[in-house]
Amino acid sequence: MKVKLFVPLLFVLATFFTACSKKQYAVKSIEGARIEMNSDWDNKADPGIVALVDAYKTKLNVEMNQEIGFADKTLTKGFPQSLLTNFTTDAMQDYASGSWGHIDFAVVNNGGLRATLNEGPVTVGNLYEVYPFENRLVLLELQGKAVKAFFDFIAFHGGEGLSKGIELVIQKRKIKSLKISGQTLDENKIYRIVTIDFLAEGNSGMEALTQAVEYTDLNITLRDAMIEFVKKLTTENKRIDAKTDNRIKIEE
Protein backbone atom coordinates (compact mmCIF):
# COMPACT_ATOMS: atom_id res chain seq x y z
CA MET A 1 0.00 0.00 0.00
CA LYS A 2 2.82 2.39 0.80
CA VAL A 3 4.31 1.88 -2.64
CA LYS A 4 1.01 2.51 -4.42
CA LEU A 5 0.55 5.78 -2.52
CA PHE A 6 4.16 6.89 -3.00
CA VAL A 7 4.27 6.54 -6.79
CA PRO A 8 1.29 8.79 -7.51
CA LEU A 9 2.72 11.34 -5.08
CA LEU A 10 5.98 11.42 -7.02
CA PHE A 11 4.03 11.85 -10.24
CA VAL A 12 2.08 14.79 -8.79
CA LEU A 13 5.26 16.46 -7.51
CA ALA A 14 7.02 15.94 -10.83
CA THR A 15 4.07 17.42 -12.69
CA PHE A 16 3.98 20.39 -10.31
CA PHE A 17 7.67 21.23 -10.68
CA THR A 18 7.53 20.70 -14.44
CA ALA A 19 4.66 23.15 -14.66
CA CYS A 20 6.52 25.63 -12.46
CA SER A 21 9.64 25.39 -14.58
CA LYS A 22 7.74 26.73 -17.57
CA LYS A 23 7.05 30.06 -15.87
CA GLN A 24 9.09 33.03 -17.00
CA TYR A 25 10.50 35.43 -14.44
CA ALA A 26 12.03 38.87 -14.90
CA VAL A 27 13.79 41.26 -12.53
CA LYS A 28 11.53 44.23 -11.84
CA SER A 29 13.87 46.20 -9.62
CA ILE A 30 17.13 46.03 -7.71
CA GLU A 31 17.82 47.86 -4.49
CA GLY A 32 21.06 48.17 -2.61
CA ALA A 33 22.51 49.90 0.41
CA ARG A 34 25.88 50.37 2.07
CA ILE A 35 26.34 48.72 5.42
CA GLU A 36 29.39 49.86 7.32
CA MET A 37 31.22 46.97 8.95
CA ASN A 38 32.37 48.49 12.22
CA SER A 39 32.62 47.60 15.91
CA ASP A 40 28.83 47.93 16.31
CA TRP A 41 28.51 44.46 14.83
CA ASP A 42 30.64 43.00 17.62
CA ASN A 43 27.71 43.52 19.96
CA LYS A 44 25.49 41.37 17.75
CA ALA A 45 27.72 38.29 17.64
CA ASP A 46 26.01 34.93 17.85
CA PRO A 47 27.13 33.20 21.08
CA GLY A 48 27.27 29.79 19.40
CA ILE A 49 29.47 31.02 16.57
CA VAL A 50 31.73 32.89 19.00
CA ALA A 51 32.22 29.74 21.08
CA LEU A 52 33.00 27.70 17.96
CA VAL A 53 35.53 30.24 16.67
CA ASP A 54 37.18 30.65 20.08
CA ALA A 55 37.68 26.90 20.42
CA TYR A 56 39.22 26.70 16.97
CA LYS A 57 41.34 29.79 17.59
CA THR A 58 42.73 28.35 20.82
CA LYS A 59 43.73 25.12 19.09
CA LEU A 60 45.20 27.02 16.13
CA ASN A 61 47.22 29.34 18.36
CA VAL A 62 48.79 26.38 20.13
CA GLU A 63 49.89 24.91 16.81
CA MET A 64 51.05 28.19 15.26
CA ASN A 65 53.05 29.20 18.34
CA GLN A 66 54.94 25.92 18.43
CA GLU A 67 58.67 26.74 18.37
CA ILE A 68 60.47 24.46 15.92
CA GLY A 69 63.80 26.17 15.25
CA PHE A 70 66.10 29.12 15.76
CA ALA A 71 67.46 31.58 13.19
CA ASP A 72 71.00 32.83 13.73
CA LYS A 73 70.28 35.94 11.66
CA THR A 74 67.41 37.74 9.97
CA LEU A 75 66.73 36.37 6.48
CA THR A 76 65.34 38.78 3.89
CA LYS A 77 64.56 38.34 0.21
CA GLY A 78 65.94 40.31 -2.71
CA PHE A 79 67.87 40.36 -6.01
CA PRO A 80 70.05 39.01 -7.49
CA GLN A 81 70.25 36.61 -4.54
CA SER A 82 69.39 36.89 -0.86
CA LEU A 83 69.65 35.09 2.45
CA LEU A 84 66.00 34.04 2.41
CA THR A 85 65.95 32.76 -1.19
CA ASN A 86 69.26 30.96 -0.66
CA PHE A 87 68.03 29.28 2.51
CA THR A 88 64.74 28.29 0.88
CA THR A 89 66.16 26.85 -2.33
CA ASP A 90 68.97 25.02 -0.53
CA ALA A 91 66.36 23.48 1.77
CA MET A 92 64.17 22.54 -1.22
CA GLN A 93 67.13 20.83 -2.89
CA ASP A 94 68.18 18.97 0.26
CA TYR A 95 64.61 17.95 1.08
CA ALA A 96 63.91 16.58 -2.40
CA SER A 97 67.24 14.80 -2.80
CA GLY A 98 66.54 12.87 0.40
CA SER A 99 63.64 11.02 -1.24
CA TRP A 100 64.03 11.47 -5.00
CA GLY A 101 67.78 11.22 -5.59
CA HIS A 102 70.14 13.70 -7.19
CA ILE A 103 68.76 17.19 -7.78
CA ASP A 104 70.74 19.54 -10.02
CA PHE A 105 69.21 22.71 -8.59
CA ALA A 106 66.11 24.27 -7.07
CA VAL A 107 64.35 27.49 -7.95
CA VAL A 108 61.78 29.72 -6.24
CA ASN A 109 60.55 33.22 -7.04
CA ASN A 110 60.93 36.18 -4.70
CA GLY A 111 57.23 36.89 -5.07
CA GLY A 112 56.36 33.57 -3.46
CA LEU A 113 58.10 34.53 -0.21
CA ARG A 114 55.86 36.93 1.67
CA ALA A 115 57.65 37.83 4.89
CA THR A 116 61.06 38.21 6.49
CA LEU A 117 62.28 35.38 8.72
CA ASN A 118 63.53 37.20 11.79
CA GLU A 119 66.49 36.31 13.95
CA GLY A 120 65.58 34.27 17.02
CA PRO A 121 63.05 31.53 17.77
CA VAL A 122 61.10 30.34 14.73
CA THR A 123 57.54 29.06 15.07
CA VAL A 124 55.22 27.21 12.73
CA GLY A 125 53.30 30.46 12.38
CA ASN A 126 56.44 32.28 11.22
CA LEU A 127 56.80 29.82 8.34
CA TYR A 128 53.13 30.24 7.44
CA GLU A 129 53.86 33.96 7.11
CA VAL A 130 56.88 33.42 4.86
CA TYR A 131 55.25 30.67 2.76
CA PRO A 132 51.49 31.43 2.85
CA PHE A 133 50.51 29.81 -0.44
CA GLU A 134 49.48 26.21 -1.12
CA ASN A 135 52.16 25.79 -3.80
CA ARG A 136 53.36 22.18 -4.07
CA LEU A 137 56.90 21.03 -4.72
CA VAL A 138 57.40 19.42 -8.13
CA LEU A 139 60.33 17.65 -9.75
CA LEU A 140 61.01 18.56 -13.37
CA GLU A 141 63.29 16.80 -15.82
CA LEU A 142 64.36 19.42 -18.32
CA GLN A 143 66.61 19.15 -21.34
CA GLY A 144 69.69 21.37 -21.40
CA LYS A 145 68.32 23.59 -24.17
CA ALA A 146 65.32 24.47 -22.01
CA VAL A 147 67.60 24.98 -18.99
CA LYS A 148 69.62 27.45 -21.09
CA ALA A 149 66.41 29.32 -21.97
CA PHE A 150 65.50 29.37 -18.28
CA PHE A 151 68.83 30.94 -17.30
CA ASP A 152 68.54 33.43 -20.17
CA PHE A 153 65.36 34.63 -18.46
CA ILE A 154 67.04 34.73 -15.03
CA ALA A 155 69.89 36.81 -16.46
CA PHE A 156 67.51 39.23 -18.15
CA HIS A 157 65.36 39.43 -15.02
CA GLY A 158 68.36 40.18 -12.78
CA GLY A 159 68.32 37.07 -10.62
CA GLU A 160 65.87 34.93 -8.61
CA GLY A 161 65.98 32.25 -5.95
CA LEU A 162 68.50 29.59 -7.04
CA SER A 163 70.08 26.87 -4.95
CA LYS A 164 73.71 26.00 -4.23
CA GLY A 165 75.71 24.48 -7.04
CA ILE A 166 74.77 27.23 -9.48
CA GLU A 167 77.46 29.67 -10.63
CA LEU A 168 75.82 32.27 -12.84
CA VAL A 169 77.58 35.46 -13.94
CA ILE A 170 75.34 38.07 -15.55
CA GLN A 171 76.59 40.93 -17.67
CA LYS A 172 74.33 43.42 -19.42
CA ARG A 173 71.32 41.22 -18.62
CA LYS A 174 72.83 38.24 -20.43
CA ILE A 175 74.65 35.11 -19.35
CA LYS A 176 78.39 35.71 -19.23
CA SER A 177 79.12 32.30 -17.74
CA LEU A 178 77.13 29.45 -16.21
CA LYS A 179 78.10 26.32 -14.34
CA ILE A 180 75.90 23.74 -12.67
CA SER A 181 77.64 21.64 -10.03
CA GLY A 182 80.98 22.85 -11.40
CA GLN A 183 80.19 21.83 -14.99
CA THR A 184 79.36 23.96 -18.00
CA LEU A 185 75.82 23.58 -19.29
CA ASP A 186 75.28 20.57 -21.57
CA GLU A 187 72.33 21.32 -23.86
CA ASN A 188 71.80 17.59 -24.53
CA LYS A 189 71.73 16.55 -20.87
CA ILE A 190 68.55 16.06 -18.83
CA TYR A 191 68.62 18.13 -15.64
CA ARG A 192 66.53 17.43 -12.54
CA ILE A 193 65.03 20.58 -11.04
CA VAL A 194 62.88 21.12 -7.95
CA THR A 195 60.50 24.06 -7.97
CA ILE A 196 56.86 24.84 -7.16
CA ASP A 197 53.87 24.00 -9.34
CA PHE A 198 53.14 27.71 -9.84
CA LEU A 199 56.46 28.23 -11.62
CA ALA A 200 56.31 24.88 -13.42
CA GLU A 201 53.18 26.21 -15.12
CA GLY A 202 55.28 29.03 -16.63
CA ASN A 203 54.20 31.79 -14.28
CA SER A 204 56.44 34.73 -13.29
CA GLY A 205 57.98 34.63 -16.76
CA MET A 206 59.43 31.12 -16.38
CA GLU A 207 57.90 29.65 -19.55
CA ALA A 208 61.00 27.50 -20.11
CA LEU A 209 59.96 25.30 -17.17
CA THR A 210 56.86 24.20 -19.07
CA GLN A 211 59.12 22.25 -21.46
CA ALA A 212 59.80 19.49 -18.91
CA VAL A 213 60.02 16.02 -20.41
CA GLU A 214 58.98 14.59 -17.05
CA TYR A 215 56.86 16.17 -14.31
CA THR A 216 56.48 14.66 -10.84
CA ASP A 217 54.25 16.17 -8.17
CA LEU A 218 56.02 15.58 -4.85
CA ASN A 219 52.69 15.83 -3.03
CA ILE A 220 53.79 18.31 -0.38
CA THR A 221 53.49 22.08 -0.15
CA LEU A 222 56.60 24.21 -0.02
CA ARG A 223 55.51 25.41 3.42
CA ASP A 224 55.13 21.90 4.85
CA ALA A 225 58.47 20.87 3.36
CA MET A 226 60.13 23.88 5.00
CA ILE A 227 58.50 23.05 8.35
CA GLU A 228 59.84 19.49 8.11
CA PHE A 229 63.26 20.78 7.10
CA VAL A 230 63.50 23.21 10.03
CA LYS A 231 62.39 20.50 12.47
CA LYS A 232 65.08 18.22 11.08
CA LEU A 233 67.71 20.92 11.58
CA THR A 234 66.64 21.24 15.21
CA THR A 235 66.85 17.50 15.85
CA GLU A 236 70.41 17.66 14.48
CA ASN A 237 71.22 20.54 16.85
CA LYS A 238 71.56 22.93 13.91
CA ARG A 239 70.19 26.42 13.48
CA ILE A 240 68.65 28.22 10.53
CA ASP A 241 71.39 30.07 8.70
CA ALA A 242 72.25 31.24 5.20
CA LYS A 243 74.88 33.20 3.34
CA THR A 244 75.35 34.85 -0.01
CA ASP A 245 77.93 33.24 -2.28
CA ASN A 246 78.88 33.07 -5.94
CA ARG A 247 75.67 31.45 -7.15
CA ILE A 248 74.60 34.68 -8.87
CA LYS A 249 76.89 37.61 -9.71
CA ILE A 250 76.15 40.68 -11.77
CA GLU A 251 79.03 42.40 -13.53
CA GLU A 252 78.86 45.81 -15.13
> What confidence score (pLDDT) does residue 51 get?
66
Confidence of residue 200 (pLDDT cuts 50, 70, 90): very high
Mean pLDDT on 130-138:
97
Residue 161 has pLDDT above 70, yes or no: yes
Q: Could you give the count of Cα atoms lying within 13 Å of 112 in the half-sphere of its Cβ?
A: 23
Confidence of residue 235 (pLDDT cuts 50, 70, 90): very high
Residue 11 has pLDDT above 80, yes or no: no
Mean pLDDT on 45-50:
72
CA nearest to 137, candidates 215, 247, 214, 233? 215
What's the CATH number for 63-251? Answer: 3.90.780.10
> What confidence score (pLDDT) does residue 69 get?
97
Residue 8 has pLDDT above 70, yes or no: no
Burial 46-68 (b: 16+ CB within 10 A, else e): eeeeeeeeeeeeeeeeeeeeeeb
**Least confident window among 57-71, 203-217, 233-247:** 57-71
Taking the domains of the chain in order of start, what are their residue ranges?
Answer: 63-251
Structure confidence by residue, pLDDT tens digits, 67-83? 999 999 999 999 999 99
